[in-house]
Amino acid sequence: MRVPKTVYDHIFENNLKTGLLILLFPAVLCTLIYGFTFLFFMSDPMMLKSAMAYLSRLVPIMFGCALGWMFFSWAFGDKMMLGFADAKDISYSLDPAHLRIRRTVENVALAAGLPTPRVYLVQDTSMNAFATGRSPKTASVAVTQGLVDRLEPLELEGVIAHEMAHIGNRDILLNMMIITGLGVFGFLADMIFRVRAGDSSKNEKGAGYVLIIVGLALLVFNWLIAPIIQFAIFRTREYAADATGALITRNPTALAAALQKIQTDARVEALDDTPKMAAVCIYNPRQKEVTAFGGLGETHPPVQERIRRLQNMAGQEVTFKGTIPDTVRLK
């Protein structure tokens, strides 16, 4: 008899899938660069050998630049993301309405065994939320005014638990680096084409071809391959966050009810000019737009499937009874 999967099984499987998907970024980029170079020079072994030698010097420099930008994203990415959303820090506000939001966040953080994150409010009547930061100790949770006003207390708690799950599962750093960091490859491609266009020297003809090939590989990676990998990562992380959030509150039906409401009005106007930010929200505000293409490129799983899974988890009563043991708290 087959044993049904538990919440913990879903979390482990999604973490494993995400790790494998992350490894695809450098692997696929190197495959594109060296593969394009091989195909272009395969008819001339001498030029191919020279091109590969040139790549052995160029690729480390290129990845060094990428790592430098990634470090910048690591240091300032959370502030950039909160700025994109025009979020206001209410962590120390004495407004009674703000105190109620902070109390909800504090209670969920306590249940998850995590430090209380900074709390931000986005002045928008729609319903959405996201979390960001480098670690649980530096994390922030942002919610829209509409989410606070239009959800029931237990539903709001479920949404906060979903975001706290992203913090506990260490998704926030991954999401932040993807949102603010991967654009470096498009920038590198642009720089390569500019350098090539301004170089009138004919002495390094083979090197010039290699630069063009690398630029094309970067463009293909940035506009085609990377988004596909990103979408796969985000989709697996949303399922994991739903499962972990349900475990924190022991009330998966509340999160399911919240998602049912959020899908009706999730657009955050401040994020219209930053489409990549949609990927880190609890519900993609552009979901209706992308579903017109049959689901291709969706950053989030279908909301009805997420709701179905949460409702199924509600039947696993033993998982959600009582307090959360220390052994399963998010550290």
pLDDT in tens, 209-247: 888 899 899 888 888 887 887 777 777 788 889 989 998
328 Cβ contact list (under 8 Å, min separation 6): 8, 247
User: For residues 236 and 286, what is the distance between their CA atoms, to the nearest angstrom?
Assistant: 18
And the tokens for 157? 């708690």
Query: Is residue 142 pLDDT above 90, yes or no?
Result: yes
CA atoms within 13 A on the CB side of 50: 14
Q: Tell me whether strands 140-144 and 129-132 are parallel, antiparallel or unpaired.
A: antiparallel
pLDDT at residue 278, as a whole number: 84
**Mean pLDDT for the chain?**
83
Find the DSSP H helices in the chain. 7-41, 45-84, 96-112, 145-150, 153-168, 171-181, 184-197, 205-220, 226-249, 252-262, 287-290, 303-314, 317-320
pTM: 0.78
User: For residues 22 and 96, what is the distance between their CA atoms, to the nearest angstrom?
Assistant: 42
Q: Give me the residue spans of the domains in the chain.
A: 7-320
Q: Which residue is associated with the tokens 């692997």?
A: 27
pLDDT at residue 245, as a whole number: 92
**E strands along 41-176, which residues?**
88-89, 118-122, 129-132, 140-144
Residues designated as active site: 163
pLDDT in tens, 73-120: 888 989 999 999 999 999 999 999 999 999 999 999 999 999 999 999
Query: Is residue 295 pLDDT above 90, yes or no?
Result: no
